[in-house]
Amino acid sequence: MEMEDLFQDLFRLIEKASDALKLDTPCSITARAYLRMAEDATFELLGEVLDNDEYNRLRAVCDYSQNYCLKADNWEMVAFFMEMFWKGVYDGFFGNSKEDDHRYYLRGYAKIRHRD
C-alpha cells in the first residue's frame, strides 16, 4: 500500500473514533477500538519510508504521538489530538503548506520536518 493510502486509512480510523464519541450516547469502547487501530496505522507508515532519515523522523513522530495519547485525560482528547497532529504530519511529510494554526497541527508539522 502506498504512503498516501496509509495516511488516508489513518484519517478514516480517527474519524470513525470521533464519530463514535459524538453519538447521542457516546460509545467509548468503539472509539477506543478505532483509536487503537489508528495507533497501529501510524506505525504501518514506517514500512513505506524510503531512507533511514525519513524512517527515523517518522519513527520519532509515531513515538511522540503514542506517548502523548497515553497521557491524555480522555478519549475525546486523544481523537482530537490525533486528528490535528497527524494532519500536520501529513502536510509536513508531503511538503504541503501549513493549512492550520492549531498547536497540535503545528507540532506534527514541525516534528516531521525536524523543526521542534
Q: Grid coordinates in use for 53?
A: 532519515
- Grid-cell match 502523548, residue found: 68
Domain carrying residue 65: 3-112
Give, in degrees to the nearest 5, the angle at Cα 94 between 8 and 44: 45
Q: How many domains does the chain have?
A: 1
Q: What is the pLDDT of residues 88-115, one digit of tens each?
A: 999 998 888 888 888 999 999 999 987 5
Q: What is the pLDDT of residues 4-58, one digit of tens each?
A: 999 999 999 999 999 999 988 888 999 999 999 999 999 999 999 888 988 999 9
